[in-house]
Amino acid sequence: MELRPLGNTDIRVSEVTLGCWPIAGITSPGTNDEDSIATIRECFELGINHLDTAYCYGKAGESERLIGRALGTRRDEMVIATKGGLHWNDEGKMVHDARPAALRQQCQESLGRLATDRVDLLYLHAPDTEVPLRESAGELKRLMQEGMTRSVGVSNVSAAQLEEFAAECPVAAYQPAYNMLQREIEDDRLPWCREHGVAVLVYWPLLKGLLAGKIGRDHVFAETDSRRKYPMFLGQERQKNHELVDRLREIAAEAGHSVAQLTINWTIHRPGVTAALCGAKRPEQIRETAGGAGWRLSEEQLARIDRALAERGTPDTGLPV
């Protein structure tokens, strides 16, 4: 597993990392503490040294608490990232709150849950329209200066917001959605990050499971499955996506890997991409996606993927960019 620089810091992170949203259990039925802790500990065996979580991953910080329990005395072997600026209110709704005081309180609570005195990377999870971005950035800079985080990142922002944030606080990392079918950051944010030495750690590399190749044409999503509301899982868009995955499956089989591993490999070798955040709630899931590292698709295989994507056409994902 290759370790890559986290922006201009001296921190290095694995090219495949564990996204710790699923273990929070909010949108992942069937989670349990035993499997979640085993999944985190499996990372040591796979060479994965980076865990990505957030203050709001879980109604009561379940994700952060599980990480704290799983790492124990091995905390210093992991690069831990968490995020602030979003929380759940008493009615169970997600609320933006990136006021300096809120960010400081959330950071303090996150450290307690994680059983550590600092995190390695602290993100602004999302901008708050009620709070000037420079105020949020300024507080994260102060938290870094005080040693509560080693570096600062920002997620879910535009290119202009990246620029504005960086004017107030050094940015080590940017975290956007990115995958074969969501490539908007290639137009502006990815070039900006390359120019300014900012690491890019992407979420949804498998596009909510679509690009893992395990959703059958006749699969019926449960009433509680949020994917039911997105165009990419409906009608003609879904049909086009299945046809794309069939073509990817052929290339993956020739390469001796699964569709998920092919997709991860394509992602982590895109210019400017530092790492892919891969969610998992059981050890075998992160074992499979970790297999997306340590090899390279051939130029011929990459050309075939490009043709397949071009023929698939611009998707209507219904997801934020």
Q: What is the pLDDT of residue 27?
A: 75
For the chain, which domains are there?
Answer: 3-209+259-296 (3.20.20.100)
Which string of b and e fits 143-177 if b means at least 16 CB within 10 Å? bbeeebbbbbbbbbbebebbebbbebbbbbbbbbb
Q: Given this model, what pLDDT does residue 225 score?
A: 76
Residue 321: predicted pLDDT? 55
Residue 201: helix, strand or coil by DSSP?
A: strand
Q: What pLDDT score does 319 carry? A: 66
Per-residue pLDDT, 218: 83
Q: What is the mean pLDDT of each run of 10 residues along the chain (321 residues)?
A: 96 98 83 95 98 94 96 96 93 92 97 97 96 97 98 96 97 97 95 97 93 86 78 87 95 97 98 97 96 97 97 79 55
Question: According to the model, what pLDDT value does residue 133 have?
Answer: 97
By annotation, the residues acting in catalysis are 57
